[in-house]
Amino acid sequence: MTYFLGVDVGTGSARAGVFDASGRLLGTAAQAITTHRPRAGFAQQSSARIWASVAAAVRDAVARADVDAGDIRGIGFDATCSLVVNTAQGGPVSVDPDGAPDQDVILWMDHRALGDADAINAIGGAPLQYVGGTISPEMELPKLRWLKRELPQAWAAAGAFFDLPDWLVHRATGSATRSLCSMVCKWTYLGHMGQHGEGWDDAFLAAIGLEDLTLDNHARIGTTLAAPGQPCGGLTDAAAQELGLRPGTPVAASLIDAHAGALGTLGVGLDAGTALDGRLAVIAGTSTCHIALTPEPVFVPGIWGPYFGVVTGNLWALEGGQSAAGALLDSVIARHAAADALTERAQAQGCRITDLIDAHLAQMGDETATLTHARHVQPDFHGNRSPRAEPWRKGGTAGLTLDTGIDDLALDYLASVQALAYGTRHILQVMRDQGVAIDTLVVSGGLARNALYLREHADATGCKVVVPDQEEPVLLGCAMLGAVAAGAQPDLPAAMPQMSGGAQIIAPRGGDIAAYHDRKFTVMQRMQDDYAAYVALMKKD
């Protein structure tokens, strides 16, 4: 028998899944990962602990799948776009401002480098046009600039800087080959220039104060790159023992977690060879990423990309996103006075608190969507990633009353779900303005199990929503990488329709509901404009 292993390292856990050659999930497991927050805006992890969680999850998933570990023929990794700092010998270099040992990972959501991102944007440079015109503090160069200035001893001790997906491949195989996915999307490498260092813009790196990274043919950040799915070597004896797998098992060039979700979903329901035009992958979890693939480069202000070859083949990717999606909903619930009692009820009934909120909303009116005619949420609680590209933004709620009960919580929650849908609509709008016509949203991630989120996205955007039957599409995307690296699939475009499975479809309702959402969308955009005006008013001369 032939099986493939997908490993996904998210913000809070490492997950592993075993799939057969058809893409059927046989077993999955997860292990938690601890995040340290030493100061406001900081988020750090330990690569050693991440690997330990990966190893435990892999062993557990293989056991649950009840397969022979020797029959796993290929492995694919994905992870968040977090920065790993190692010595030349592979040991950890602390990124903690107080020197906490082993904390060598600056998490994607860490915003310590807000000022550095602003400085890089003020300096400018040709690579910025490939990140929507504005670099984000979630990307790696602002973080590296902060590290060099604020922790010079750590900077001097660092022998290698990795994006976390590439570090996982390195830890598994010993290879220093980096994936085009992470390096193009998060490091300003220009993938269309080549895979042997030609895509680095040394003048830009020098202009922003990171000329050190150009030394020795960019040895610390990546000399050789590979397209996702290309083999990067096999498991070392040590890694194989830790994972409980066969030494030499092929390991593929990795993906960022959202891009693995795009790979695992965009081909769902399509025949082999069908173009992916008109589809937007919405990978909705703690945050949300919106990924579209185009045959030619398209430049969209405020949208990351165009990125060459970062998901599959010779296609270009555009990536929008929301820095807080599931995290926004969690926050809205947690801060409400009615949340504790409702949480206790959910625990007693063995369900999620959102299940109870959904049921309560259904009792509040014949048409749930229009309950929020007087409640509006501006959803930028953790900044606006796309398309405004303004990480300094904060959120807000309009239409509050003195009510502190479950009715009020339900309205806050519904208005927040709708606000996320309007954020997706805004991303679609700016893409369409540049000729990228999207009519289908393919949704995966934790919020793909939220029926309210799916319905509001269909109605608010006017797009058909496709929800894959596959329980773990992100892990499936990684398994596709492993299948290609092992030679079981000729390439990723062939693997996508063959391994993706079926899907459910939600159609937009149109009519009065669409007109209602048009008005609500206008309200949210006006709230965003008003917030920017408040910030301007409060600035010191």
Q: How many CB atoms lie within 10 A of CB 8?
A: 29
Where is average pLDDT lowest: 268-282, 402-416, 484-498? 268-282
On the 0-12 / 13-18 / 19+ scale of CB atoms within 10 A, 444 is buried
pLDDT band with cut points at 50, 70 and 90 for residue 275: confident
Q: Please, which pLDDT band fits residue 106 given cuts at 50, 70 and 90?
A: very high
**DSSP string of 497-518?**
HHHS--EEEE----HHHHHHHH
Q: What's the average model confidence in pLDDT over 98-106?
A: 96
| Model confidence at 476: pLDDT above 80 | yes
Query: Distances in Å between the alpha carbon of 324 and those of 157, 332, 417, 444?
Result: 34, 11, 12, 16
Q: Residue 541: pLDDT above 70? A: no
β-partners of residue 36 are 44
In a domain, 207, yes or no: yes
Q: What Å distances lie between residue 329 and 154, 406, 407, 460, 536, CA to CA?
A: 37, 15, 16, 18, 28
Tokens of 27: 């077993």
Which pairs count as long-range contacts for 516-520, CB under 8 Å and 24+ apart, including other chains? 516/369, 516/370, 516/373, 517/369, 517/418, 517/421, 517/422, 517/459, 517/460, 520/372, 520/376, 520/418, 520/422, 520/460
Over range 268-296, report the average pLDDT.
91
Residue 275 lies in a domain: no
User: Looking at residues 274-289, what average pLDDT do you find?
Assistant: 92
- Mean pLDDT for 335-341 is 97
Q: Residue 171: inside a domain, yes or no? A: yes
As for how many domains the chain has, the answer is: 1
Query: What is the mean predicted confidence (pLDDT) over 396-416?
Result: 98
| In a domain? residue 305 | no
The mean pLDDT of 519-531, rounded to a whole number, is 98
The answer to whether residue 496 is domain-embedded is: no
Q: How far apart are CA 469 and CA 473, in angstroms?
A: 9
- The reply to whether 126 falls in a domain is yes
Strand order in the sheet with 304-308: 304-308, 316-322, 288-294, 279-284, 440-444, 464-468, 503-506
Q: Residues 279-288: what's their mean pLDDT?
A: 94
Query: Does residue 311 lie in a domain region?
Result: no
Residue that the structure tokens 């968040």 belong to: 80
- How confident is the model over 344-357, as pLDDT tens digits? 999 999 999 999 99
**What is the C-alpha separation between 462 and 99, in angstroms, rounded?**
50
Torsion of CA 310, 177, 189, 480, to 10 degrees: 10
Would residue 63 count as lying in a domain? yes
Q: What is the pLDDT averaged over residues 272-276?
A: 83
Tell me the C-alpha to C-alpha distance, in Å, between residue 196 and each of 175, 254, 310, 318.
15, 17, 15, 23
Q: Is the pLDDT of residue 274 over 90?
A: no
- The domain in which residue 12 lies consists of 3-255
In tens, the pLDDT along 197-252 reads 999 999 999 999 999 999 999 999 999 999 999 999 999 999 999 999 999 999 99
- pTM of the shown model: 0.90
Q: Is the dihedral of CA 516, 521, 522, 524 positive or negative?
A: positive
DSSP strand pairing (178-179 vs 225-226): parallel
Instruction: Write down how long the chain is.
Output: 541
User: What pLDDT does 1 receive?
Assistant: 87
- pLDDT for 21-75, tens place per residue? 999 999 999 999 999 999 999 999 999 999 999 999 999 999 999 999 999 999 9
Give me the CATH number covering residue 8.
Answer: 3.30.420.40
Q: Which two tokens stand for residue 85?
A: 């700092």
> Residues of the chain with pLDDT > 90: what percent?
95
